[in-house]
Amino acid sequence: MKYKIVLTLVLLMSFVYIFAMDVNEGIILLLSKDYAQKIFFAQDDSEISKVFSCIAYGVRYMENLAWIDKDRFYDSLKELKREELPEEIIIGLDVLETAISTSTVGALALFEESAESSVAAAIALRLYKIDWTETRDPNAGKAMLRIAETLQKKYPEAYLPYEAIFLFHSSSVFGDKSEFLRYRDIVLGMIDESDEFSAILQALIKGEYYLGLYEELLEDYRKLTDPGDETKFYAAMAEFETGSQGTAEILLKDTNLSSLPSKMASKGFEVLGKIAENEGNTDSAIYYFKRAIKFNGKNRDALVHLGFLYMNSDLEEHDTLARYYFEMSGMEDYDPEVAEALNVLRKRLVLRIIFYQVLPLIAAVVLGLILVEYIYNKEKEKNRKKKPYGSRGGFHGDKGS
């Protein structure tokens, strides 16, 4: 009996040892799209697993500034046996702890000064990406690209390096379209060999949208089996830009636009409004353009289109609403058509004021004066008839003569 118990314990320990997370697996998970979810799901009792769970809390805090993640990071950090950890993990933990407790700048300086560590590089890549996304600092962007290219060579099937590379080359003045296309060829050569292929392909599609590579975007979109709402949005925009309005409309109506960032949602509703307008459906166009403004009050295209729709409609208060949306757009000094439309609307307003307010007022005043004159004359005539002729200063003879 004791032998069986010992054997079972040995087998269990062997199982844990065989399937325990190692450093390389932890790095790959940290470089995945849904890194936190995957790290927590793969968590076991090994010290390396605890390390990467701690790192996941810290990185997530840097991304969303949720205090609960900060508290969990420090709680996890206290429980780690640092003396037993490899040097590259200690460096990574130091970089992340510095970012959380002091500053990102200090953390990244520590990373640049430290010995080579793939763990620290994966953390630094996420920190540089946050910095680049928020500030568009050229130094942050170039550092992000450098680390991403290094990690892509070591982990050619990992998501984050590709996302960073596509982000830099599609949204930076220092970007290189030829480099973007070179990495696109690398990704397309993977074709489902990587668990992250779909996520990498969606990062590629996003970059193609911002570079205006609509034909390539649609070609790559067709390789996806389950695209997310954001990717469907990019495909819809590409279809619209290449003249396929019907397909764009179908894609947009199949997309939960409200779940997207506000400017993207606004653009989606704006395009639906343009499609409805082109089809002559004024009511739907007005509805979609108003939805676009709800998500982004500075959407000038939607404001201008609403102005023209109301101006050319017979809806109640159409001129007032048209003038309101044109003025809200702020395009009077930049768009001659808007300036001309406002000029016409203001003339209409002046004429309306003249015909419906000024002229009736003038007519009322004139009629009032005529009525007063008439009453005055009637009273005067009435009083004249009541007084005898010559009752005062008349010629009835001089009594004193």
Is the separation of the CB atoms in 162 and 204 below 8 Å? Answer: yes
Provide the percentage of residues in the chain whose pLDDT is more than 90: 72
Q: How far apart are the first and last CA of the chain?
A: 168
How confident is the prediction for the chain on average, in pLDDT? 87
State the pLDDT confidence band at 7, using cuts at 50, 70 and 90: very low
pLDDT tens-digit map of 238-294: 999 999 999 999 999 999 999 999 999 999 999 999 999 999 999 999 999 999 999
Structure confidence at residue 187 (pLDDT) = 94
CA angle 46, 49, 54 (to 5 degrees): 130
Structure confidence at residue 372 (pLDDT) = 72
**Which has the higher per-residue pLDDT, 269 or 4?**
269
HEC-encoded secondary structure of the chain: CHHHHHHHHHHHHHHHHHHCCCHHHHHHHHCCCCHHHHHHHCCCCCHHHHHHHHHHHHHHHHHHCCHHHHHHHHHHHHHCCHHHCCHHHHHHHHHHHHHHHCCHHHHHHHHHHCCCCHHHHHHHHHHHHHHHHHHCCHHHHHHHHHHHHHHHHHCCCCHHHHHHHHHHHHHCCCCCHHHHHHHHHHHHHHCCCCCCHHHHHHHHHHHHHHHCCHHHHHHHHCCCCCCCHHHHHHHHHHHHHCCCHHHHHHHHHCCCHHHCCHHHHHHHHHHHHHHHHHCCCHHHHHHHHHHHHHHCCCCHHHHHHHHHHHHCCCCCCHHHHHHHHHHHHCCCCCCHHHHHHHHHHHHHHHHHHHHHHHHHHHHHHHHHHHHHHHHHHHHHHHHHHHCCCCCCCCCCCCCCC
Evaluate if residue 198 carries a pLDDT over 60: yes
Structure confidence at residue 358 (pLDDT) = 54
Structure confidence at residue 190 (pLDDT) = 83
pLDDT tens-digit map of 300-358: 999 999 999 999 988 878 889 999 999 999 998 999 999 999 898 888 767 566 656 65
Task: Give the pLDDT mean for 55-76.
Answer: 96
Least confident of 109-113, 215-219, 252-256: 109-113
State the pLDDT confidence band at 154, using cuts at 50, 70 and 90: very high
Q: What is the CA radius of gyration of the chain?
A: 38
Structure confidence at residue 195 (pLDDT) = 77
Evaluate if residue 101 carries a pLDDT over 60: yes
**Which has the higher per-residue pLDDT, 388 or 89?**
89
Structure confidence at residue 352 (pLDDT) = 64
Structure confidence at residue 94 (pLDDT) = 95
Task: Give the pLDDT mean for 28-36.
Answer: 96
